[in-house]
Structure 1
């Protein structure tokens, strides 16, 4: 590995620590030095994209921390609490880091440059905005990026579907379904102003309009969704409730993520802001921001723990952020986004642990090549919507 490659790896490690709020004063100084060095690197600078204001804000923030924390070189500098700034900084950094993988327990295998990746002419498409909308009469509409749709109180620009505000009587309530296929994503603004982001292989059932004086109920039939709920105070105190087969999440007004895939045993509910109460059979649990409730559907085991909220919700910002995830778990996520089947031939590498960030708009070949270059896999093959790791 060249000196330049070592420096860039160190730079990536510092960025990870910065986003996690774990850098010391001395490390921040080093981060600024790296940043300035790579500004002179045409390739890296061009890859930074056009968001110069975001990059400059990031640098200014770091410099302000250096100025305000003089004297204690080992003092840990926390990251900015504003999650919007964190997303913006992360997106800016990811834009030029491309794929950042920090594998643990790397066996140090060298890549054989003579090995050729076999694709058999198969092209794996990157996931995109698409969904199937099932209307109250049972008819279905394909929603796709670049195509618009409009019907009475419903309108879509191909990336988000929005329902206009209105009130119904109990006997008039009508439900729509939004189904996100593998390889898709979509977002929806419900008639009460609540925003929902849906990940690949997910389905949401919801009323076209809510009934005044009754709880605002939606059902995540399966998959993953991020909710930014319109507060109850704006709706005469009407609660917002998210149902799924194994639990009920009662909301006053908050942001949270629910991951409940059909092919996974566990359900994960992560609270970003506000307060939620989760009911499971005869049990109830409250969450505070930064906590995640783990529910095992088979044996009803419940566990609440602190998590890095960014890692759990970055998917809705166009980013996959992994922390101490196994290669096997990562491939489950990628298989949904790229709509492929992943086969790991060498079972001994399934549990390789790593920290990594990648952009969702990358080709899967780029990601797999990066993993290969780290020596985790010897090679990979793509054919008939299957990815084989060797």
Structure 2
């Protein structure tokens, strides 16, 4: 189980304990956080909004909340240095969110749900592979695909680097529909997680010594790039419509959807050079570039918030409802309408499981923001 899925599990346990007025005991020793880390996290739990949230939770003591976290965490985590503060805070925030929403569920007049035969399900592993010949192969749960140098078990597709000395390069496309996600391992060993409504163009094989290049045609992808030292020094490049990302061996996230001209690049580990019709920019771990047309700016961000989608989590921090709904539209393959445009910019904080029913997520958002909604077939309407 990944650390992020573990966080969700722990959050639910903590929230349940809070609701039952229980105090988890039997603290476990953990090397997940140092004493200085705990001090840092506790200091951040004094944020004004968290204090207000804690008041709604019958004034939960911060040290007790941390003890509850510490008593549950028992998983060693790889590369947690960037994420651990956000991860721990997420547990308390989510526990607070769950409690707050449940406390508000008694106000049923706020929510109106239209009964419908249409079932809205969370997204699943599915994709369309387009071969160089133009042939399309549907990939998904319960299906398999095998060809020379490539195979898929329905949840991922793996390429082997056969015929790597060929001078010509043959490309395939992997398209992820709305309501889908998929993992691909490229022929050079690079790992790519693709989010809903995304499309990747990639070579079937890489030519020894030549630059390794793929194109994120649109959508969102997380890259764990095989280092150039394993490929005779050849660099790895990710192209988007207005940007080239040059990497030497690193992990980063790119978000470049069709419904917005803005491209977000978030560096988790390593180093990347960004170039295009703007001044070449270098990112450091924990930084995000925002490219809006030809203007680029760089800032430090909460990496967990940016990449948690690949671990099955929605992490929303002070995010406007209109942006949250774009995420939900892609994952649940639904349409969301705001009748009252004034509420589009209302913000929401929450750490939520992507496998939750859409009604559960909408109830939390609706009750927290006191905004009624209704579901009609596969359309959600906020009043």
- Same fold (TM > 0.5): yes
Q: 1:20 to 1:337 in 2, by over 3 A?
A: farther
- 1:340 equivalent in structure 2: 334
Q: 1:371 to 1:85 in 2, by over 3 A?
A: closer
**1:32: how far off?**
4.5
2:182 to 181, 186, 198: 186
- 1:57 equivalent in structure 2: 74
1:303 to 285, 293, 297: 297
- 2:380 equivalent in structure 1: 387
**1:203: how far off?**
0.2
State how far apart, in whole Å, the 2-side matches of 1:125 and 1:271 are: 31
**1:326: how far off?**
0.7
Following superposition of structure 1 onto structure 2, how do residues 250-261 of structure 1 map, counting pairs within 5 Å? 250-261=246-257
- 1:234 equivalent in structure 2: 230
1:30 to 60, 64, 67: 64
- Three-state SS of the structure 1 residue aligned to 2:342 is helix
**1:149: how far off?**
1.1
Q: 1:83 to 1:89 in 2, by over 3 A?
A: same
Q: 1:125 to 1:387 in 2, by over 3 A?
A: same
Following superposition of structure 1 onto structure 2, how do residues 50-89 of structure 1 map, counting pairs within 5 Å? 55-57=72-74, 82=80, 86=84
**1:306: how far off?**
0.4
State how far apart, in whole Å, the 1-side matches of 2:377 and 2:191 are: 36
Q: 1:328 to 1:277 in 2, by over 3 A?
A: same
- Three-state SS of the structure 2 residue aligned to 1:176 is strand
Kindly indicate whether the alpha-carbon contact (under 8 Å) linking 1:98 and 1:359 is maintained by their aligned counterparts in 2.
no
Where structure 2 has 5 or more consecutive residues not aligned to the other structure, the ranges are: 1-14, 23-36, 46-60
State how far apart, in whole Å, the 2-side matches of 1:123 and 1:19 are: 43
1:266 maps onto 2:262 in alignment: yes
- Three-state SS of the structure 1 residue aligned to 2:360 is helix
- 1:292 equivalent in structure 2: 288
**1:167: how far off?**
3.9
1:324 to 309, 315, 318: 318
**1:199: how far off?**
0.3
Q: CA RMSD in A?
A: 3.6
1:218 maps onto 2:252 in alignment: no
Q: Deviations over 1:194-222 (max 9, x none)?
A: 00000000000000010001000000000
Kindly indicate whether the alpha-carbon contact (under 8 Å) linking 1:80 and 1:86 is maintained by their aligned counterparts in 2.
no
Kindly indicate whether the alpha-carbon contact (under 8 Å) linking 1:99 and 1:367 is maintained by their aligned counterparts in 2.
no
Where structure 1 has 5 or more consecutive residues not aligned to the other structure, the ranges are: 12-17, 40-54, 62-78
Q: Deviations over 1:1-21 (max 9, x none)?
A: xxx99955999xxxxxx9995
Number of residue pairs the alignment of both structures matches: 337
Q: 1:215 to 1:9 in 2, by over 3 A?
A: farther
State how far apart, in whole Å, the 2-side matches of 1:312 and 1:157 are: 28
**1:134: how far off?**
0.4
Kindly indicate whether the alpha-carbon contact (under 8 Å) linking 1:102 and 1:354 is maintained by their aligned counterparts in 2.
no
Q: Deviations over 1:224-282 (max 9, x none)?
A: 00000000011110000001110000000000000000111210000000000000125
Q: Deviations over 1:72-114 (max 9, x none)?
A: xxxxxxx996259859977x959x95964989xxxx9993448
**1:369: how far off?**
1.4
Kindly indicate whether the alpha-carbon contact (under 8 Å) linking 1:255 and 1:272 is maintained by their aligned counterparts in 2.
yes
- 2:359 equivalent in structure 1: 365
Kindly indicate whether the alpha-carbon contact (under 8 Å) linking 1:228 and 1:254 is maintained by their aligned counterparts in 2.
yes
- 1:50 equivalent in structure 2: none
Kindly indicate whether the alpha-carbon contact (under 8 Å) linking 2:222 and 2:307 is maintained by their aligned counterparts in 1.
yes
State how far apart, in whole Å, the 1-side matches of 2:232 and 2:132 are: 27
Report the TM-score, using the length of structure 1 for normalisation: 0.77
State how far apart, in whole Å, the 2-side matches of 1:374 and 1:233 are: 50
State how far apart, in whole Å, the 2-side matches of 1:146 and 1:319 are: 24
**1:166: how far off?**
2.6
Q: 1:35 to 1:240 in 2, by over 3 A?
A: closer
State how far apart, in whole Å, the 1-side matches of 2:351 and 2:110 are: 28
